[in-house]
Amino acid sequence: MKKILFFISILATLAFTNAFVGSTSVLIAPTSKILIKGKTNISTFKCQYNVSKLNKPIPVFFRKYKDEIIFDKTTLVLDNANFDCGGTGINNDFQKLLKSETYPHIFIKLKEISEDPNNENRIQALLDIEIAGITRSYSIPIEFEGEDTLLIKGILSLNLRDFNLEPPKKAFGLIVVKDTIDINFQLRVEEY
């Protein structure tokens, strides 16, 4: 529980209270990674996010109650233009898929975390993901390690059609992107 509380920069003494409200800010280190992986009917693709663009502090507002921490207005904003899929053509296809002209950002809102009673280095996180103006909620396991700087790792699988996104087809429909993509993240986070 103490590592979870450090994650949001609560002093260790706060772990002994039943309820607490607080705020802080965190920075994501440029050594972090955000990678979207997908498949077509003939190969795979990946789009790497330029994490160095996440250079502003992210405000974190929370309240702790028993074994849960509930967040308010704690959002990671990803600019779609900062994804690199390895070439101009696939980058353009990815931007069209995300409807970037109308919706230039992906919003990942942290709603709540709770500890895993079986693993002190794992939490269950409730997230709201907004892509192309559509928001869906996901509950995913997240692993973390470290003390001063935390490494937060996880994989979020989502279906493109849940966001009203039509997987692109190429070469007269011979190449088709599969509906499911994985967002792999390894975020190095420290208090600002």
90-143 per-position pLDDT tens digit? 899 899 999 999 999 999 999 999 988 888 889 999 999 999 999 999 999 999
118: left (phi over 0), alpha (psi -120 to 50) or beta: alpha
Q: From the CB of residue 170, how many other CB atoms can be counted at a distance below 10 Å?
A: 14
pLDDT per residue as tens digits for the range 166-185: 877 676 666 777 889 999 99
Residues shown for the chain = 192
pLDDT at 3: 57
Report the C-alpha gap between 96 and 169 in whole angstroms. Answer: 12
Gap between the Cα atoms of 71 and 67, Å rounded: 13
Strand partners, 17: none
CATH architecture of 2-191: Beta Barrel (2.40)
For the chain, the structural domain boundaries read 2-191
pLDDT at residue 40 tops 90: no
Secondary structure (3-state) at 75:
strand
